[in-house]
Amino acid sequence: MRRILVVGITGAGKSTMARTLSSRFAVPYHEMDALHFAGPGWAVNDEFVTQVARIASSPAWIFDSYGYPEVRDLLWEHADTVVWLDYPRRVIMPRVLRRSLRRTLLRERIFGGNRETLTDWFRRDHPAWWAWSQHGVRRADIQRRVRDPRFAPLQVIRFGTPEEAADWLRSQ
């Protein structure tokens, strides 16, 4: 496991899992949202695809992503391992709601110095709305990719609950 892609719906814990794996396996972790957003106003990094392609061609990395269609196939083609946090909505939604509420109330700076605001909660691309509406779509796409021969040989480690993931991490 040297090129690890951690996938799942918004709020599944991809970044947390990726940081843990990075520490455990001494493999560099790259936070996809931090690479994608370049600055205030959710400005997009013009070099995003180039940066991801450069990292993906290196011998070892961990990304926490499923999104960003412009680099999705690239990451799946270069990965040797996919860690899939395949959690149900009843697990995801409380997590994403707590995280967004904390970020909004505490005005936490995130990617590119941006912040989640109360107004953002009413947008279709807010993490809470996105996690709810995209849960089934994302799950189906990941299932399709796992079976796609273009991405073989690919080790897939799938967890249906956070407890399964925690047990696996303890065994590593």
Report in angstroms the alpha-carbon separations of 74 from 55, 68, 71, 108: 11, 11, 5, 31
Domain boundaries, the chain: 3-171
CB 118 within 8 A of CB 46: no
- Is 99 within 8 Å of 16 (Cβ atoms)? no
pLDDT at residue 57, as a whole number: 97
Which of 3.10.310.30, 1.20.58.220, 3.40.50.2300, 3.40.50.300 would CATH assign to domain 3-171?
A: 3.40.50.300
What does the angle CA 148 – CA 154 – CA 155 come to, to the nearest 5 degrees?
A: 125
pTM: 0.94
| Strands ordered across the beta sheet of 81-85 | 29-30, 61-64, 3-8, 81-85, 155-159
Q: Please tell me the number of Cα atoms within 13 Å of 152 on its side-chain side.
A: 4
152 pLDDT tier (thresholds 50, 70, 90): confident
Partners of residue 82 on adjacent β-strands:
5, 156
Read off the pLDDT of residues 43-96 as tens digits, 9 standing for 90 and up: 999 999 999 999 999 999 999 987 799 999 999 999 999 999 999 999 999 999
pLDDT band at 125 (very low <50, low <70, confident <90, very high): confident
